[in-house]
Amino acid sequence: MRNINIVNTDSNWLAWGRLVFKWINGGPAAGPGYPAGPPATVAHLRAQMADPAHNVVGTVTGAPGKPVNIIVYPAGAIVIPIPTPAMVAADVAVLTAIAPGPYPLPSFYSDIFATAPQKIYALPQLKDMALRRLGEYVINECM
């Protein structure tokens, strides 16, 4: 399980993206009773997500006082974020539980591919797709 889980609907992913965009651009994303800007604690993140201005449906793991660290890419450095072995193992457990089945993508991908049906994969193919997505994630996040 991830530390932040977003309910998989197009409108909810859009709401989450808008909240993150506010963090990036310094918009008012505070949540009631919290300072403006990105969240500093789990409680602050939950408040921002629940705020009617954002209305992001999801869960955040951890005690309310657990720190939330927003990392801004440093200028001039190549940053390649990679998941921990535990994160990869958790993803493999999810794939094992759904196999055979479609690769789990956020719902908004169906907009991109219109009416194309999702392909059903056996576990080895699901794991290969996960490796492709991992590589894509690292490249997309590499700045």
Q: What is the CA radius of gyration of the chain?
A: 17
What pTM, to 2 d.p., does this model score?
0.79
Query: pLDDT by residue (tens digit) across 47-102?
Result: 999 999 999 999 999 999 999 998 888 888 888 888 889 888 988 999 999 999 99
The answer to whether the CB of 63 falls within 8 A of the CB of 42 is yes
71 occurs within a structural domain: no
**90 and 43 belong to one structural domain:** no
Using H for helix, E for strand and C for coil, what is the string for 52-65?
CCCCCCEEECCCCC
Residues 6+ apart with CB under 8 A from 111: 10
**13 and 48 belong to one structural domain:** yes
* Position with higher pLDDT, 14 vs 74: 14
When pLDDT is averaged across residues 23-33 and rounded to a whole number, the result is: 76
Structure tokens of 116?
A: 């194309």
124 occurs within a structural domain: yes
Q: Under DSSP, is residue 40 helix (H, G, I), strand (E, B) or coil?
A: coil
Q: How many domains does the chain divide into?
A: 2
128 occurs within a structural domain: yes
**What range does the domain containing 25 cover?**
4-60
The answer to which of 19-23, 44-48, 102-106, 113-117 has the lowest mean pLDDT is 113-117
> Model confidence at 143, in pLDDT bands (50, 70, 90)?
low
- Strand ranges (E), the chain: 4-6, 58-60
Q: What percent of the chain has pLDDT over 90?
A: 41
Query: Phi, psi at residue 121, to the nearest 5°?
Result: -115, 145
- 137 pLDDT above the threshold of 70: yes
pLDDT of residue 109: 85
